[in-house]
């Protein structure tokens, strides 16, 4: 069975999950954080090396201020509580996005967590935070322009993405029934296999994750080549 090297998750449906239960949206995010942690462990158990979690997009700033502040606070508290276990389990946590635009406390926290976990060799957990696929490409091009290049190649852009050393995702899983990428890994996803499920993210289970990986293993990836 061929396992993916890099799995990315679009964790959609926290708010709808809470609404269905008569709860505040923040409770959906709280439960969603637990599932994100579990999903990282499911990947590690299969030997998957890279996991990317779409935590906060550049468009999410349009949400109510109170919800955005809660999301950031939840991230601070939840990740802080997991640092010890990440170090024990060989997890390296990394962040990608326009991190310089984050609130100072969160920006400092991101820097500290990356440093503390930098020696992790078993699993890279990548949190897409204040991330947009188009913004990443724009930022890459602007970096290239700084050195005065007149002709820009695909290789130039690839080397100037936020995390150029991370392989492109083999499998992208999106929950909640939406079937689009929503500005996620726009450059990197061109040959990714996609798996969509109607399950809301807080209800996403290990069994469904294994179904997605099993489905992936049965696909023939051609990358534009002939059959």
Q: Which residues are annotated as a binding site for substrate?
A: 13-17, 25, 29, 57-59, 61, 63, 174, 180-182
What DSSP line would sit under 88-104, residue for residue?
Answer: HHTEEEEEES-GGGS-H
Answer yes or no: 60 catalytic: yes
What residues form the annotated binding site?
Answer: 12-17, 25, 29, 57-59, 61, 63, 174, 180-182, 193
Question: Residue 6 in contact with residue 166, Cβ under 8 Å?
Answer: yes
What residues form the annotated binding site for Mg(2+)?
Answer: 12, 193
- From the list 12, 124, 160, 170, the catalytic residue is 12
Helix/strand/coil percentages in the chain, nearest 5: 50, 15, 35
Label residue 179 left, alpha or beta by phi (over 0 means left) and psi (-120 to 50 means alpha).
beta
Answer yes or no: 203 catalytic: no
- From the list 37, 60, 156, 183, the catalytic residue is 60
Distance CA 206, CA 211 (A): 9
Question: Which sequence positions are flagged as catalytic?
Answer: 12, 60
């Amino acid at each position: 069975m061929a396992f993916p090297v890099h799995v990315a998750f679009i964790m959609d449906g926290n708010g709808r999950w809470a609404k269905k239960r008569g709860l505040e949206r923040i409770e959906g995010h709280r439960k969603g954080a637990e599932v994100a942690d579990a999903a990282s462990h499911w990947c590690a158990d299969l030997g998957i090396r890279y996991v990317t979690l779409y935590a906060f997009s550049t468009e999410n700033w349009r949400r109510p201020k109170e919800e955005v502040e809660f999301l950031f606070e939840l991230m601070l508290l939840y990740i802080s509580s997991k640092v010890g276990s990440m170090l024990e389990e060989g997890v390296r946590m990394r962040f990608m996005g326009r991190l310089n635009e984050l609130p100072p406390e969160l920006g400092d926290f991101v820097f500290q967590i990356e440093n503390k976990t930098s020696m992790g060799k078993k699993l890279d957990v990548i949190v897409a935070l204040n991330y947009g696929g188009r913004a990443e490409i724009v930022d890459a091009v602007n970096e290239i322009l700084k050195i005065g290049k007149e002709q820009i190649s695909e290789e130039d852009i690839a080397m100037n993405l936020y995390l150029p050393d991370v392989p492109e995702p083999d499998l992208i899983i999106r929950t909640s029934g939406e079937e689009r990428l929503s500005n996620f890994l726009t450059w990197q996803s061109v040959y990714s296999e996609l798996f969509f499920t109607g399950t809301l993210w807080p209800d996403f289970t290990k069994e469904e994750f294994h179904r997605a990986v099993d489905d992936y293993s049965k696909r023939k990836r051609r990358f534009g080549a002939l059959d």
